[in-house]
């Protein structure tokens, strides 16, 4: 082979590597943090860091140049990782990644992977993700070192190019010229991005300290049990959180026709069975996931919108709804079918009894997210706690059949045939692929609502008060953008005296809240509920 051909091949390879290096660094510098504006135009901008880095690398001594380049590259790699995390969090939770507390989310993510691909697959994917993350940092450092060699080799051309780009950058910065909305050609610096994230961490930690003070301010903390919930004496009060049951279920044109019909039919069925419903909306502190934040918010009357606040709340002596019922003489029960191990928060919530996936007695197949079907969860709760003569019970039941990925729906069966759930082994219903996520979501919400309303019809009595509330809106793949955080809430009861206490709430009749239904922040519910059904604090 001729030497010229060999040199030509090496040159092509070298330039290919250089281009890939530039692409990696440009991603770190220019990638937006929100998945919405991510497009090829996002990268047709001028990053100020490169205009600063090139002169610095040309001016430092030859001995210092390589380590300086490596440090700068590694820093850009870390910025790239945070931006990748941002893209993921915006897609799933409609917000940016918060380094101060979002590391906690990786544990539940691994649990979700385990449910979908098994323990070995989850471990393999987690190790691969960690290796890729480390690889991004190392590759960014190596990329900057390589690019520095190219710049030094073409010192004059590099200097002239930087001068021209500085003139263009300054002109674009002064005029505010943008290539797309919120994407100026004079790109916002990665250094500013890193500074903002550092400031965010400090703000989150400061917020935790201030929030800790808020937890100690509780008008109901010292109210005697004989003054709490006096209007519900003798009632079984059941709070059911329906996974991902958001306002989108009754308003999105691809979903609402089915769910609205199910709710309207359910209202008529309840009326025939002697029950009434009132409905409204609550604004959840979370969207797309992290359900425990919503549970803690409704129970505690505090706005628990991140993990630091959650940890602070469950470590406090804040009076929860459950603890209020407990103090007033009810037996309190938590039913958490997604849990597979002991739950440290049980004491905070004040549960006398507790059931999880190990103690519900389910022997049937697992469905999406490795869940126990909601119909069985309700049946097991009723069998253990409400069947026969019993002390009044207050329970929180977490219904999880409507958890992502919505690819399977359990089959509803007659209550008498449900048994230990093994009857479901031969009858799983798979959501058809052409319907996509919204069709699967609608199928699962419809199943859960059917199970709940059927439970009331066949097992409800005059002493049942059922509160049905969504924990959060589903992910953006279902809602689209700008859908908000409202979730439906309904109270179902046979005793008209229950609704007499709610007259000034102005909630709407039936199970389906309309567009003009009241909207409360979710942290308002505890105080309003305790005030309506007991003696307001002095």
Please list the pLDDT of the chain residue by residue as tens digits (538 residues).
Answer: 555 444 455 556 655 666 766 676 777 777 766 655 566 666 777 777 777 888 888 888 888 888 888 888 888 888 888 887 877 777 767 777 887 777 776 666 666 666 566 667 767 777 887 888 888 788 888 888 888 888 888 888 888 888 888 888 788 888 878 776 767 777 766 777 777 888 888 888 888 888 988 888 899 999 999 999 999 999 999 999 999 999 999 999 999 999 999 999 999 999 999 999 999 999 999 998 889 999 999 999 999 999 999 999 999 999 999 999 999 999 999 999 988 888 889 999 999 999 999 999 999 888 766 688 999 999 999 999 999 889 999 999 999 999 888 888 888 999 999 999 888 887 666 665 455 788 889 999 999 999 999 999 999 999 999 999 999 999 888 887 778 899 999 999 999 999 999 999 999 999 999 999 999 999 999 999 999 999 777 6
408 and 334 in contact (C-beta within 8 Å)? no
**Residue 213 covered by a domain:** no
Contacts for 471 with CB less than 8 Å, ≥ 6 apart: 241, 242, 243, 244, 245, 284, 286, 291, 294, 295, 487
CA angle centred on 29, ends 170 and 181, rounded to 5°? 65
Other beta carbons within 10 angstroms of residue 31's beta carbon come to 17
So what's the pLDDT on residue 538?
A: 63
Q: What is the pairing mode between strands 464-470 and 353-356?
A: unpaired
Instruction: Look up residue 440 and give its two tokens.
Output: 């699967």
* 147 shares its domain with 258: no
* 184 shares its domain with 245: no
Nearest alpha-carbon partner for 534 in 285, 235, 316: 235
Full-model pTM: 0.81
Instruction: Look up residue 157 and give its two tokens.
Output: 């051309």
Nearest alpha-carbon partner for 332 in 323, 319, 341, 340: 323
* 194 shares its domain with 259: no
CA distance 78 to 51: 20
* 191 shares its domain with 240: no
* 394 shares its domain with 316: yes
**Residue 17 covered by a domain:** yes
CA distance 184 to 430: 46
CA angle centred on 236, ends 233 and 239, rounded to 5°? 120
Residues forming beta bridges with residue 237, ordered by sequence position = 394, 465
* 158 shares its domain with 259: no
CA gyration radius, the chain: 28
CATH number assigned to the domain comprising residue 447: 3.40.720.10
323 and 350 in contact (C-beta within 8 Å)? yes
* 274 shares its domain with 187: no
**Residue 325 covered by a domain:** yes
**Residue 538 covered by a domain:** no
**Residue 210 covered by a domain:** no
Domain limits for position 234:
219-533
Bond from prior residue into 405 cis (ω within 30 degrees of 0)? yes
* 251 shares its domain with 194: no
* 201 shares its domain with 223: no
The last residue of one of the domains, among 205, 233, 266, is 205
What domain count does the chain have? 2
Residue 287 DSSP symbol:
B
Residue 382 DSSP symbol:
I
* 475 shares its domain with 508: yes
CA distance 425 to 423: 6
**Residue 229 covered by a domain:** yes
Instruction: Look up residue 254 and give its two tokens.
Output: 């691809």
CA distance 218 to 222: 8
Full DSSP string of 78-125: HHHHHHHHHHHHHHHHSS---TTTGGGGHHHHHHHHHHHHHHHHHHHH
313 and 292 in contact (C-beta within 8 Å)? no
Residue holding tokens 């069947």? 387
The last residue of one of the domains, among 174, 205, 236, is 205
Residue 184, class by beta-carbon neighbours within 10 Å (0-12 exposed, 13-18 middle, 19+ buried)? middle
CA distance 461 to 480: 40
So what's the pLDDT on residue 248?
A: 95
Reduce the DSSP state of residue 318 to 3 states and report it: coil
Residues forming beta bridges with residue 521, ordered by sequence position = 283
* 238 shares its domain with 309: yes
The last residue of one of the domains, among 158, 178, 205, is 205
* 188 shares its domain with 240: no
**Residue 214 covered by a domain:** no
So what's the pLDDT on residue 118?
A: 65
**Residue 470 covered by a domain:** yes
């Amino acid at each position: 082979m001729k030497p010229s051909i060999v040199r030509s091949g090496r040159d092509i390879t070298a330039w290919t590597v250089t281009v890939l290096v530039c692409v990696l660094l440009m991603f770190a510098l220019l990638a937006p943090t929100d998945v919405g504006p991510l497009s090829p135009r996002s990268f047709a901008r001028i990053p100020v860091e490169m205009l600063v880095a090139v002169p610095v690398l040309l001016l430092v001594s030859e001995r210092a140049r390589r380590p300086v380049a490596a440090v700068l590259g590694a820093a850009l790699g870390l910025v790239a990782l945070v931006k990748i995390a941002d893209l993921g969090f915006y897609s799933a939770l409609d917000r940016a990644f918060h380094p101060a507390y979002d590391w906690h989310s990786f544990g539940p993510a691994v649990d979700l992977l385990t449910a979908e691909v098994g323990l070995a697959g989850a471990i393999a994917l987690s190790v691969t993700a960690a290796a890729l993350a480390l690889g991004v940092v190392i590759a960014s450092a190596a990329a900057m070192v390589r690019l520095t060699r190219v710049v030094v080799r073409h010192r004059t051309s590099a200097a002239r190019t930087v001068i021209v780009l500085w003139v263009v950058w300054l002109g674009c910065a002064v005029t505010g010229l943008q290539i797309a909305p919120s994407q100026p050609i004079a790109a916002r610096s990665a250094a500013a991005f890193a500074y903002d994230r550092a400031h965010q961490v400090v703000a989150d930690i400061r917020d935790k300290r201030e929030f800790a003070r808020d937890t100690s301010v509780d008008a109901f903390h010292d109210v005697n049990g004989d003054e709490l919930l006096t209007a519900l004496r003798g009632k079984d009060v059941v709070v059911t959180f329906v996974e991902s049951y958001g306002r989108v279920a009754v308003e999105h044109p691809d979903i609402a026709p089915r769910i609205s019909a199910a709710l309207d039919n359910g209202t008529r069925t309840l009326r025939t069975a002697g029950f009434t419903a009132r409905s409204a909306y609550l604004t959840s502190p979370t969207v797309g996931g992290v359900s425990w934040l919503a549970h803690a918010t409704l129970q505690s009357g505090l706005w628990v919108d991140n993990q630091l606040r959650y940890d602070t709340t469950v470590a406090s002596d804040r009076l929860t709804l459950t603890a209020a019922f407990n103090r007033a003489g009810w037996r309190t029960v938590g039913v958490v079918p997604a849990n597979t191990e002991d739950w440290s928060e049980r004491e905070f919530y004040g549960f006398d009894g507790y059931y999880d996936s190990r103690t519900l007695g389910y022997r049937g197949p697992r469905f999406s997210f490795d869940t126990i079907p909601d119909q069985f969860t309700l049946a097991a709760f009723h069998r253990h706690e409400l069947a026969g003569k019993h002390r009044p019970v207050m329970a929180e039941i977490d219904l999880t059949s409507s958890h992502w990925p919505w690819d399977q729906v359990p089959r509803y069966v007659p209550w008498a045939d449900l048994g230990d759930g093994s009857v479901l082994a031969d009858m799983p219903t798979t959501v058809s692929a052409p319907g996509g996520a919204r069709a699967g979501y609608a199928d699962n919400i419809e199943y859960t609502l059917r199970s709940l309303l059927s439970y009331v019809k066949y097992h409800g009595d005059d002493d049942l008060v059922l509160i049905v509330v969504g924990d959060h809106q589903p992910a953006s793949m279902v809602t689209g953008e700008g859908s908000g955080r409202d979730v439906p809430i309904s109270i179902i009861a046979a005793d008209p005296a229950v609704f007499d206490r709610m007259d000034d709430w102005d909630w709407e009749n039936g199970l389906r809240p309309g567009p003009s239904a009241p909207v409360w922040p979710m942290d308002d519910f505890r105080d309003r509920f305790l005030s309506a059904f007991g003696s307001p604090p002095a």
